[in-house]
Amino acid sequence: MNRSMPDRTQALDAASRGAADEFIRRARRAGLVDIGYTSVETPLGRLLVASTREGLVRLAFPEERQDDVLDELSAALSPRVLESASMTDAVRRQLDAYFEGRLRGFRTKVDWALTPPGFFRRVLEATARIPFGSVSTYGTVAKVAGSPRAARAAGNALHDNPIPVVVPCHRVVPSVGGIGKYGGQEWRKQFLLQLEGAVAPAD
């Protein structure tokens, strides 16, 4: 008895996925994949995450087109970029746990390859040390990064953070009150701060 068209389509899809997974496994074993990426469904939208052998290198909000992000990674780091569940599984699991309220600190390693050394990187490294449920100010982060008068420059560095959420730029707020601006749109910053209990829910 011949298979129905839906059955054949499903079988072909399964075979295609299997072949793709096997190709990726062989490419990784041969050292041909430098960057693996995947998409993760979250309350903030569908996030693209990308990892190298050193750790998480990029997290992009939905407004950033996937093709543009992959082109950026290819140009800046390596053209050997492939979709890979295995290279991104740890951070995907941690993101799921974080948004479900079961994780207070990311354990995934961070690859700073897209972050230029100097003040910019020191700002993000200082931000990465702000604890869950706490906030700091742009001025304080600038001071910790070695330039007490550079609050505005610290804000610019945070706006261009290539690994938001995991490197928690949402925890940096203005000294005059309010939550301030956010490269991933202010509603996401509000959501993250509320999730962590750092601000009261909006009316």
State yes or no: pLDDT of 203 exceeds 50.
no
Residues belonging to the active site: 169
Q: pTM of the prediction?
A: 0.83
Mean pLDDT score of the chain: 89
pLDDT tens digits, 75-97: 999 999 999 988 999 999 999 99
Domains of the chain: 33-99 (3.30.160), 119-195 (1.10.10.10)
Residue 202 CA to residue 190 CA, distance in Å, equals 8
Q: Tens digits of per-residue pLDDT, 20-65?
A: 555 555 555 545 579 999 999 999 999 999 999 999 999 999 999 9
Pairing of strands 35-42, 81-83: parallel
The pLDDT value recorded for residue 30 is 47
